[in-house]
Chains A and B, each alone.
Chain A
Amino acid sequence: MASHGSANIWKRFAKGLRRFVLHPLGHFLLFIVFLYQVKEFYPFTHVPMYSDPEARAPYLYLADGEGAPLGVKSHSGITNPKMRKMYHSRMRSHCKEHRLDKHHPPQEALNQIGGEVVTFLRKYAIERGRPLPETLRLMHVLIEPAADGYTETVTLLYEDRPAP
């Protein structure tokens, strides 16, 4: 008797599941689960931008040997956010590969990744006929909340100088 009852429950469950899977909203929910599980695999994305707002927002900019800013997009065609994402993603991979603390990477890592990013930018700046100056600085700015709003702390991340 009991087994007959449980068989009925399973039958009803299977019927309900089938109806859910065949219903367009079922397709929709399954696709949402799929997108979130896959994360970033073009064209699939879980849209992570601004999903975990932290009390710090870093950005980078490019400067010449005197510290004067340079328009990275005007020179290389690559926007400032793309330069920042490229730097951070390479740094993450480097730290993961060499088991380093990604929040406090050693100077060698800063030099290596900074050098790679600057080399990439120089290449496309030359292709566009807008070469970058020989001495280049990659500046890091950290925006943090403060009592009167926010503060911006500027540090030199990497300097690319011509060999003497």
Chain B
Amino acid sequence: MIERLRKFLSHFHPRPVAAWELLIMRVLFALVVYKTLPNAGQIYDTQTSPNGIAHFVDLTFLAADGVYPALKIAMAAALAIYASGFLLPLVLPFILIAHVMIRTLFNSQGWIHHGVQMVSLVLLAQTLVVLTFLVYRLLKKRPFPLTGGRSMGSYFLFYSQMAIISIYVVSVVSKVDRSDGQWFAKSHYIGLHVVKAERDRYYGKLHDPPPGDVPAARIMLANPNLTRLFLGAGVLLELLAFLALYGRGAALAFSLSMIVFHRSIAALMSIYFHFNEMLLVIFLVNAPYWIVLIFRKSRAAPPPPAPATALDI
């Protein structure tokens, strides 16, 4: 039993990863990070409800004339260098600090937007990996010991995946603790939030048809057990998210399931987690790896037998 557990746990380690996989991931992730930068109009000159480092630092200097446009250009340059894979111990801390400052100011207006934390957390994980390798080399005067075909990229990918997955697992802890264990019993009330989400969308732009009945909400409220079954499947998926670290296949299965779940929530509640989905696609689905694998296997396979001819018969 212990031996089986030990064998199971031995899978939860960084795995070898090809340089071209990492290059594709860095390019795509750099684009995502740039996309998460707000427009200049969303850089507010107040921080009335400080969040994070805004408790200690006045971040409104970002709203001063010319500061944010210059920072955005610097971010673009740093992200281009990051994508190339050079000078990572230099550019990653810069990208991380700038990203955290910008998004913290955005979240210090009285609302906390939960759509971008995952991106900053992946930046944090990658920065920690790169700096750990650097500090190890400086302190020990030799490179970080790598075995089993692993590279720094293996840790880079593994801890990026861990940062993504942690968001899903901690959300389950919150559900259990904040509801005093009553989350499943109360989950049908999310039907009320489906109505709220519909109304929020309408009153933002008044583009949609005026608010009417929300049948999905009525179904959820009238069928608590059905709602528990549907939402419970999502919670179970979140809870077991850590299994995605078991291997490439598990990462693919989990991430595709999670994307389907995100899409279901989007269809039901108009709540979108675009950046979460993008990170799942980049770091867990990792489609280029599977495409290359299928391509190589198809080329390595023995040629199909020639069609029978009259002579054979």
Give A residues with C-beta under 8 Å from B: 23-25, 27-28, 31-32, 35-36, 40-59, 61-62, 69-74, 77, 79-82, 84-87, 89-90, 93, 116, 120, 124, 127-128, 141, 143-145, 148-150, 152
Q: How far apart are the CA atoms of A59 and B124 in the complex, in Å?
A: 34
Q: Chain A interface: which of B21-29, B215-223, B303-311?
A: B215-223
A150 adjacent to B111 (CB under 8 Å): no
- Taking CB atoms, residues of chain B closer than 8 Å to A70 are 206
Check A51/B221 contact, CB under 8 A, given A24-B245, A45-B167, A150-B191.
Answer: no
The interface bits of chain B over 50-75 (1 if a CB of A lies within 8 angstroms of the residue's CB, else 0) are 01110000000000000000000000
Check A47/B167 contact, CB under 8 A, given A24-B162, A69-B203, A143-B195.
Answer: yes
- Taking CB atoms, residues of chain A closer than 8 Å to B41 are 77, 124, 127-128
Check A49/B114 contact, CB under 8 A, given A71-B205, A150-B221.
Answer: yes
Distance (Å) between the CB of A97 and the closest chain B CB? Answer: 12
- Taking CB atoms, residues of chain A closer than 8 Å to B178 are 48, 51-52
In the complex, the chain B residue whose C-beta lies closest to that of A35 is: B170
B192 adjacent to A47 (CB under 8 Å): no
In the complex, the chain B residue whose C-beta lies closest to that of A88 is: B110
A53 adjacent to B195 (CB under 8 Å): no
B221 adjacent to A89 (CB under 8 Å): no
Is there a chain A Cβ closer than 8 Å to B171's Cβ?
yes
Interface size class, chain B: 35 or more
Contacting residues of chain B (93-110) with chain A, CB-CB under 8 angstroms:
100, 103-104, 107, 109-110
Q: How far apart are the CA atoms of A77 and B207 in the complex, in Å?
A: 15
In the complex, the chain A residue whose C-beta lies closest to that of B10 is: A23
Distance (Å) between the CB of A60 and the closest chain B CB? Answer: 8
Q: How far apart are the CA atoms of A57 and B196 in the complex, in Å?
A: 7
- Taking CB atoms, residues of chain B closer than 8 Å to A127 are 41
In the complex, the chain B residue whose C-beta lies closest to that of A83 is: B111
The interface bits of chain B over 281-306 (1 if a CB of A lies within 8 angstroms of the residue's CB, else 0) are 00000000000000000000000000
Distance (Å) between the CB of A16 and the closest chain B CB? Answer: 12
A81 adjacent to B193 (CB under 8 Å): no
Which of B169, B201, B222 interacts with A149 by CB under 8 Å? B222
A150 adjacent to B175 (CB under 8 Å): no
- Point out which of B9, B46, B158 has the most chain A C-beta atoms below 10 A from its C-beta: B9
Check A32/B173 contact, CB under 8 A, given A42-B103, A54-B189.
Answer: yes
A32 adjacent to B166 (CB under 8 Å): yes
Q: How far apart are the CA atoms of A37 and B203 in the complex, in Å?
A: 35
In the complex, the chain A residue whose C-beta lies closest to that of B51 is: A42
Distance (Å) between the CB of B120 and the closest chain A CB? Answer: 3
- Point out which of B111, B177, B183 has the most chain A C-beta atoms below 10 A from its C-beta: B111
